């Protein structure tokens, strides 16, 4: 089944490459994929011999056998014996190189959640949305916020506990140890003050 899944991933990346064309050009023709087996990832059985129509970078229809003709000029791909799957998401991505973006698409990843976002990621996302860069959709988290022993060099904000917070932490730790030592007894409340 691997070659068939790869075909589905090719279709996703081909569609994304079309998306990267300048929006100033002529409107794109819809993409029609005929005779494909659709795996819809709902747990249901595969949908055999389907016609999938993509218009404006979105799936506009999934139907049975294709009509003999189409009402407007379209790109048609005969996918007999092939499978089509939904785009995948990488929900924990760390990267900073533009060259990686097409690799995500080629491997079927059409969405990224960037866990350590910076201005470079926002710039790439803007270019993808403007169709000047080929890449998956991006959801970007904030820049890293680090603790008392910073992970990386400055400019990462660091949160250092105040003297009072350190005292409270020590007191809470002592209370937890006390709670563990009396766990078997019937004591229900412990005062932290």
The CATH number given to whatever domain includes residue 118 is 3.30.110.90
Q: What's this model's pTM, rounded to 2 decimal places?
A: 0.60
Are residues 92 and 80 part of one domain? no
Are residues 16 and 61 part of one domain? yes
What pLDDT score was predicted for residue 4? 45
For residue 20, the enclosing domain spans: 2-84
Are residues 58 and 16 part of one domain? yes
9 within 8 A of 16, measured Cβ to Cβ: no
Q: Is residue 12 a part of any domain in this protein?
A: yes
Are residues 71 and 118 part of one domain? no
pLDDT in tens, 4-44: 444 454 454 445 444 444 444 566 788 999 999 999 889 99
Q: Is residue 174 a part of any domain in this protein?
A: no
What pLDDT score was predicted for residue 112? 95
Half-sphere exposure (Cβ direction) of 190: Cα atoms closer than 13 Å: 17
Q: Is residue 16 a part of any domain in this protein?
A: yes
Are residues 57 and 31 part of one domain? yes
34 within 8 A of 26, measured Cβ to Cβ: no
Are residues 94 and 75 part of one domain? no
pLDDT in tens, 54-113: 988 789 989 997 776 777 788 999 999 999 999 999 999 988 889 999 999 999 999 999
- The number of domains in the chain is 2
Are residues 96 and 79 part of one domain? no
């Amino acid at each position: 089944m691997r070659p068939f899944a790869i075909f589905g991933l090719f279709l996703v990346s081909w569609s994304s490459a079309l998306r990267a064309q300048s929006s100033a050009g002529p409107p794109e023709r819809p993409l029609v994929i005929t005779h494909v087996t659709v795996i819809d990832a709902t747990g249901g059985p595969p949908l055999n011999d389907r016609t999938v129509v993509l218009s404006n970078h979105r799936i506009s229809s999934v139907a049975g056998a294709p009509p003999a003709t189409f009402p407007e000029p379209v790109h048609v791909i005969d996918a007999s014996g092939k499978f089509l799957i939904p785009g995948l998401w990488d929900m924990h991505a760390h990267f900073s190189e533009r060259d990686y973006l097409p690799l995500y698409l080629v491997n079927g990843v059409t969405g990224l959640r960037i866990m350590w976002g910076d201005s470079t990621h926002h710039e790439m996302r803007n270019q993808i949305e403007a169709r000047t860069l080929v890449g998956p959709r991006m959801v970007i988290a904030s820049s890293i916020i680090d603790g008392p022993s910073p992970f990386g060099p400055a400019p990462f904000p660091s949160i250092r506990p105040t003297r009072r917070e350190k005292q409270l932490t020590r007191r809470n730790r002592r209370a937890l140890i006390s709670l563990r030592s009396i766990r078997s007894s019937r004591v229900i409340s412990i005062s932290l003050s």
